[in-house]
Structure 1
């Protein structure tokens, strides 16, 4: 993988494709959000892996309707030119009510190749 230490950056320093994805995802605009992903992208969330844009689109649609919650971007980090982390604080009607999640992005050709979401 990579052994570089992530360095803190300002959230507005995140690459355009990441901010476009996050903005669309938070607006529940699944069609716009899925355009940020490479055709063979993978998303790993809640112990499940979604491969390809069809599976990612279904995941996005489900995650948008399963619970009601607010999301605040609380921090951003960059490991190297292709690896970024966006930390979000979520509050809502899901089990536990509040959680901080790390969205770990791997980019390729200005698209999201992999997104791993973990606490």
Structure 2
């Protein structure tokens, strides 16, 4: 999917829109999180695709209260100026209890155009 090898970077070097999304998502702030996406963005999470602002907002609202968990950003990578990966460690009352997830971001016009969340 990407032409370049990921390069490790610090979480502080992630673009502002990614940091804003990660912060809002961690706080279950769906209203702020949805503003980080383009109108026609796509999110792939848990095998499901959510496309467009309304579908993404619904996904954010549904996932917000689903499980009690903690989230810690454990790594960041830059592929190029439009592609980034953030790795987060989740621990909580969901099946399995702990997981490291990679959030693969594609940016367009300083917003998130595509987000794929995967182990």
TM-score, normalised to structure 2, is: 0.99
Residue equivalent to 2:66: 66
| Counterpart position of 2:90 | 90
Q: What's the C-alpha RMSD, in Å, of the aligned pairs?
A: 0.5
| C-alpha separation in 1, matches of 2:49 and 2:12 | 28
Aligned partner of 1:38 in structure 2 is: 38
Alpha-carbon distance in 2 for matches of 1:2, 1:24? 27
User: Is structure 2 residue 116 aligned with structure 1 residue 116?
Assistant: yes
- Name the structure 2 match of 1:9: 9
Equivalent in the alignment of 1:76: 76
Q: Any idea what SS the aligned residue of 1:66 has?
A: coil
Q: Distance in 2 between matches of 1:65 and 1:59?
A: 11
Alpha-carbon distance between aligned partners in 2 of 1:37 and 1:10, rounded to the nearest angstrom = 22
Structure 1 stretches of 4+ with a deviation exceeding 6 A read: none
TM-score in terms of structure 1 length: 0.99
Which structure 1 residue ranges, 5 or more long, are not aligned? none
Q: Distance in 2 between matches of 1:19 and 1:114?
A: 15
Cα deviations by residue, 1:38-89 (Å, 9 ceiling, x for unpaired): 0000000000000001000000011111111000000000000000000000
How many equivalent residue pairs? 119
SS for the counterpart of 1:4 is coil
